[in-house]
Structure 1
Amino acid sequence: MAQGGNAIRGSRVGAGPMGEAERGEAAPRQAVAYYCSHEHRFVVTFSVEATVPDSWDCPKCGLPASMDSDNPPPAPKIEPYKTHLAYVKERRSETEAADILDEALELLRSRRKSGELIF
């Protein structure tokens, strides 16, 4: 006794064709090994037609990596955070800062003497 609906047993709704023959052949690929300065090695797969980049970020530590295992790129130098005051001090000397402050105070005092409202 045959029951209806057994034809799709073992597959799910929306399932596509099964196997490589229905999808077509995969594009030719090449595997490229990269090395970072923390001695991590990882492989990235590219199409044979693609231009392979000289460097790639390491997925383990985030440092730049190159294809040269003997000379991986060095870790980038990280500059410490600088405050606004640190940048100002790089541009102005102590005497210049004192002169500017004296000039601003003199202007403020003259505006107060003239009766101007200053908040």
Structure 2
Amino acid sequence: MVGGSAIRGSRVGAGPMGEAERGDSAPRLYVSYFCSNRHETRPAFAADAVVPETWDCPRCGLPANLDSENPPPPPKIQPYKTHLAYVKERRSDAEAEAILTEALEGLRARRAAGEVIY
């Protein structure tokens, strides 16, 4: 086999030639969205689709809207909460004091009974 090709009769780019085989594409509407970093995003929508008010910027991840002069502000980032912060949200100081007193009484009773507590 001299200079053979594994795929005969084909070349780069060979194949169906677009519109003739697939049919016409649906009409599209390109909409510009702007984020607070001044990035412009232009997603395509079907011409009869409802266009959303906001869109996430693919470059920075911030929210974007249709108004180039007044883009939405970046969202406020909440700091990480510790387990203790979540507990303090659920219980008042009086409830915490009552639970601590009950736990200490149980521990003292077990020690008085001679249990080994680590």
Deviation at 1:99, TM superposition (A): 4.2
Deviation at 1:59, TM superposition (A): 0.7
Deviation at 1:18, TM superposition (A): 2.0
1:76 alignment partner in structure 2 = 75
Q: Provide the C-alpha distance between the structure 1 equivalents of 2:17 and 2:95, rounded to a whole number of angstroms.
A: 78
Deviation at 1:89, TM superposition (A): 3.2
* CA spacing shift, 1:11–1:105, aligned 2, 3 Å: closer
Deviation at 1:11, TM superposition (A): 5.8
Give the percent of matched residue pairs that are identical in Structure 1 and Structure 2.
Answer: 61
Q: Provide the C-alpha distance between the structure 1 equivalents of 2:46 and 2:99, rounded to a whole number of angstroms.
A: 62
Q: Provide the C-alpha distance between the structure 2 equivalents of 1:9 and 1:89, rounded to a whole number of angstroms.
A: 71
2:47 alignment partner in structure 1 = 48
- Determine helix, strand or coil for the equivalent of 2:101: helix
1:92 alignment partner in structure 2 = 92
- Determine helix, strand or coil for the equivalent of 2:32: strand
- Determine helix, strand or coil for the equivalent of 2:34: strand
1:107 maps onto 2:106 in alignment = yes
Q: Provide the C-alpha distance between the structure 2 equivalents of 1:61 and 1:88, rounded to a whole number of angstroms.
A: 35
Q: What is the TM-score with the length of structure 2 in the denominator? A: 0.75
Deviation at 1:115, TM superposition (A): 4.3
Q: What is the TM-score with the length of structure 1 in the denominator? A: 0.75
Q: Say how many residue pairs are matched.
A: 110
1:8 alignment partner in structure 2 = 9
**Amino acid in the other structure paired with 2:20:** A
* Deviation larger for 18-27 or 47-56: 18-27
Gaps of 5+ in 2: 1-7
